[in-house]
Structure 1
Amino acid sequence: MSSLLVFPGQGAQQPGMLRRLPQTPEVQACLQEAGEVLGQDVLTLDSAEALAATRAVQLCLLIAGVACVRSLLQAGATVNYVAGLSIGAYPAAVVAGALGFADALRLVSLRGELMQQAYPQGYGMTALIGLDLGAVEGLLAQVHSPRMPVYLANINADNQVVIAGSDAAMQAVAELARGSGVGVARRLAVSVPSHCPLLEQPAQTLAAAFAGVTLQVPRLGYLSGSRARPIRGVEPLRDDLAFNMCRVVDWRGTVQSAYERGVRLQIELPPGAVLTGLARRVFEQGSVIAFDGARLDTLQALLREEESRDR
């Protein structure tokens, strides 16, 4: 049996999320390193006001994920796979040993700025719950136009899909979904239209920045949230990280792929437990648990237990 660490994407952020991290030496060292690389006190990034900016949100998610994993694994516990939803791919790559933390901080800072500058207002993402993928694609076809762009963005579960686009277009799709009698639409705390062609140009700019960054072959199994399969080579990983902002997320397929590869323990890194809820629909056997609200020694014991079964 195997274990998987998963890292949430934008929309999971919470005010005070960095201040609520465990007070371990590993967390403190991570916060200090991040501050030195970014040239600022990173604890200023997690206020409600600061989190209105995409850059702050993405940096907080990166820092929280890496800091908590360093605490989790410091006692000798090991993990087999990592996967991240959208920005969560960056802490996943750091934990896998493929991307240096300092490089990740600089790239994520740029990533957030590029995304925010491309669409400073009037765009975002909306979750549609209760409709299957085919039904959502039908609604998108009714609404999408050059003046009202809206696209499929995330496949989170059989009946949970996220769309991205202009406010007006998403509102039109939401009204059609509600009119179907089974759909629920919920606007997400994301101010940019991620995971669709609208972000192709910012992704190209980020890819140019990636060209000067040294990557390593992942030491752990790195599951792509876009491709729903492992990525082992350096150049495919570079492509995956640079362009995941404009590619559809197949999180349902990613979790299913992990389960089919023998994963029976999933731990979701902070903040929140959204990915834990989604995984329960896939994990017929095994355990899914969120770091938030769990004891650190309990999580370490679960990892050691899963490792012993894997031998």
Structure 2
Amino acid sequence: MSVAFTFPGQGSQAVGMGRDLAETFPEARAVFEEVDEALGQKLSAVMFDGPEETLTLTANAQPALMAVSIAVMRVLEARGLSLAGKVACVAGHSLGEYSALCAAGSFSLADTARLLRIRGNAMQSAVPVGEGAMAAIIGLEQADVEAVCDEASKGGTCQIANDNGGGQLVISGSRPAVEVAARLATEKGAKRALMLSVSAPFHSALMGPAAEAMRDALSGVAVKAPVVPVIANVRAAPVGNPQEIVDLLVEQVTGQVRWRETVEWFARNDVTTLYEIGSGKVLTGLARRIDKSLTGFAVNTPTDIDSALATLLG
């Protein structure tokens, strides 16, 4: 029986995130200060005090979520937790994969912050606002959603962006095609087909320009082998080779986040406990829906950290 750490993606941000960590732990304050310096912006002030519309901007939300995750990691490590000694593997949802790689030592904190700022800006600018869309399809089998996307693709790009598990698949692409797919999904028997309030069609072929931007950005940073395996989003399998890590991060921009399969990989490989490191508890909830044999804990407050340390080091 073993432990995995998971790292949340966009949507888990909230005004006030990280403030109690900064007030309680000098290691957390140091993380936020380093991220602020790397970005040349007082991002921590936006995280702690808002406004929400500024925090929600993709270029802010991505490095902000990473910062909270790494702040928690640095506190855990300062109190005796060794990732390589206690954790079998790590994984992150979309941008959370960068947090996982930073936690596992593949990227420096400053490089991770800058990469996520570039990623957020590139994803936002890849498609003019309003031309792309995403929709959550609830209660329809993956094969049926794939068929719906194939049919809708006659009118533009439409593909599965996230397989989140628990009967939830997110589709992404050009707005007319996604709207058609949502209607077809309802006709096929989906419980819900909900258009999402997002600023761009993430994880679709329309993100091609952003993928190239990330290829360029990643070519300019040092990448080390992670101290524990990282389960890559687009492969739902472990990766450790630095060049492979880079290639899969580029592929991830336009590819599918295979989160259901990632959690299933955990369960197949003797992982029994998941700790969600960072803001919110979205991944903890998804894990329970995907495989009830897994135990999940969200770790984002000083109390959560104390509880996690008592279990992991006790």
TM-score (norm 2): 0.90
CA–CA distance in 2 between the matches of 1:60 and 1:185? 30
Q: How does 1:16-95 map to 2 (within 5 A)?
A: 16-19=16-19, 21=21, 23=23, 24-46=25-47, 47=50, 48-78=52-82, 79-95=87-103
**Residues 44, 124 of structure 1: alpha-carbon distance in 2 compared, 3 angstrom cutoff:** farther
Structure 1 counterpart of 2:105:
97
Which of the numbers 226, 229, 232 marks the counterpart of 2:240? 232
133, 136, 146: which one aligns with 1:127: 136
- What CA distance in whole angstroms lies between the structure 1 residues aligned with 2:275 and 2:198? 24
Does the alignment pair 1:269 with 2:269? no
Task: Give the 3-state SS of the residue equivalent to 2:237 in structure 1.
Answer: coil
Using the alignment, how far apart are the partners of 1:34 and 1:240 within structure 2? 24
Distance 2:133 2:165 in 1: 20
Point out the more displaced range, 267-276 or 287-296. Answer: 287-296
Retained in 1: the 8 A contact 2:166–2:290?
no
Consecutive unaligned residues of structure 2, counting only runs of 5 or more, are: none
**In the alignment, what sits opposite 1:143?**
152
CA contact (8 A) 1:73 1:300 kept: no
In 1, Cα distance between equivalents of 2:225 and 2:304: 32
Q: How many residues align?
A: 304
Of 181, 187, 195, the match for 1:179 = 187
How far residue 246 of structure 1 moved from its aligned partner, in angstroms, is 1.1
**Partner amino acid, structure 2, of 1:19:** R
More displaced, 217-226 or 87-96? 217-226
Structure showing the higher helix proportion among its residues: 2
Is the Cα contact below 8 Å between 1:10 and 1:190 reproduced in 2? no
Secondary structure at the aligned position of 1:97 is classed as coil
Q: CA deviation at 1:52?
A: 4.1
**Identity percentage over the alignment?**
35
Q: What SS is found at the alignment partner of 2:16?
A: coil
Q: CA deviation at 1:141?
A: 2.0
Q: Write the distance in 2 (CA, Å) between the matches of 1:189 and 1:95.
A: 30
* Among candidates 138, 163, 170, match of residue 155 of structure 1: 163
1:50 Cα offset (Å): 0.8
Contact 2:21–2:29 under 8 Å retained in 1: no
Q: Residue 86 of structure 1: SS of its match in structure 2?
A: coil
Q: Is the 8 A contact 2:298 2:304 kept in 1?
A: no
User: How far apart are the structure 2 equivalents of 1:292 and 1:129?
Assistant: 28
Rounded Cα–Cα distance in structure 2 between residues aligned with 1:52 and 1:118? 18
Q: Distance in 2 between matches of 1:22 and 1:286?
A: 31
For residues 263 and 189 of structure 1, the distance between their equivalents in structure 2, rounded to whole angstroms, comes to 34
Provide the residue aligned with 1:308 in structure 2. Answer: none
**How far is the alpha carbon of 1:282 from its aligned partner?**
4.1
Letter aligned with residue 106 of structure 1: R
Instruction: For residue 280 of structure 1, give the secondary structure of its aligned residue in structure 2.
Output: helix
Q: 3-state SS of the aligned residue for 1:49?
A: helix
Alpha-carbon separation, structure 1, partners of 2:64 and 2:133: 19
The answer (yes or no) to whether the contact 1:150–1:165 under 8 Å persists in 2 is yes
Q: In the alignment, which of 204, 207, 223 is matched to residue 215 of structure 1?
A: 223
Map of 2:295 onto structure 1: 287
Which piece of structure 1 moves more, 101-110 or 38-47?
38-47
Which residues of structure 1 form unaligned runs of 5+?
306-311
The 8 Å contact of residues 274 and 296 in structure 2, kept in 1 or not, is answered as yes
Deviation at 1:97, TM superposition (A): 0.7
AA at the equivalent of 1:39 = G
- Alpha carbons of structure 1 residues 81 and 183: separation in structure 2 relative to 1, 3 Å: same
